[in-house]
Amino acid sequence: MTGRTRLAKLEGAFHGTYDWAEVSARSSPNNWGGDYPKSNPPYRNTPPHVCEEVVVLPLDDTARSKTIIEQHGSDLACIVVDVLPCAAGMIPLNPDYLTMLQDTARRHGILLISDEVVSFRVHYHGASAARGFHPDLVTLGKVVGGGLPIGVVGGTSATMEAFAPHDSAPVPQGGTFSANPLTMAAGRAALAALTVGEIDRINELGNYLRQQAEEFASQVGVAIT
């Protein structure tokens, strides 16, 4: 879609076991660098070009991340974002940070990919909608398969044109388990059960658990996050 090959991602964010997406997912104070986060290999003998093709952004640091994106803007095909980073404490990204990502990406023609494999379930229309984030592509899994293995990619009509037509698609796709009938049935049933009211009820339970845990921890003098 862009004619570019490099991607950007947030330091400490996990997006599945895919080489480029795993870069710097497990950074530590020993290797995460200074003002510019290092692109750390995810496993032993990672091909050097993998790390070279990934630009790492400091999570929730609006000013530094904007500077880095601006420096690499003409090379970046996409920025992969989890608005509720599952491997980085599940702390919601700051609204100002998300706004900066959107504005800067649009200005440089960079696609935004929202990873909602875990976070989709926080809102009837997904985590991006709940946070006012407008990605070009969304990746889904887990709950949308009703407990069975699944991976889903969706997005704007213009972006999804990359997968069509099937006989001459810029990005061919398919596989042994594509549109598996059992997973499709289970996923449809799960999503039909996750009504607006049901998601509100689940979120209320989560809020109650957090509130009670924090209150009790405060009473007994235990630090908690």
- Domain 6-219, what fold? Aspartate Aminotransferase; domain 2 (3.40.640)
> Strand, helix or coil at 202?
helix
Can you give the residue ranges of every domain in the chain?
Answer: 6-219
Of 125, 97, 102, 99, the C-alpha closest to 113 is 102
| Contact present, 118 and 86 (Cβ < 8 Å) | yes
The CA-CA-CA angle for residues 84, 150, 167, to 5°, reads 115
| CA pair distance 20, 8, nearest whole angstrom | 9
* H or E element that contains 6: strand 6-10
Give me 213's structure tokens: 């845990």
Q: Quick one: pLDDT at residue 86? A: 87
Give the pLDDT of the chain (225 residues) as one tens digit per residue.
899 999 999 999 999 999 999 999 998 888 888 889 999 999 999 999 999 999 999 999 999 999 999 999 999 999 999 999 988 888 899 999 999 999 999 999 999 999 999 999 999 999 999 999 999 999 999 999 999 999 999 999 999 999 887 778 888 888 888 889 999 999 999 999 999 999 999 999 999 999 999 999 999 999 987
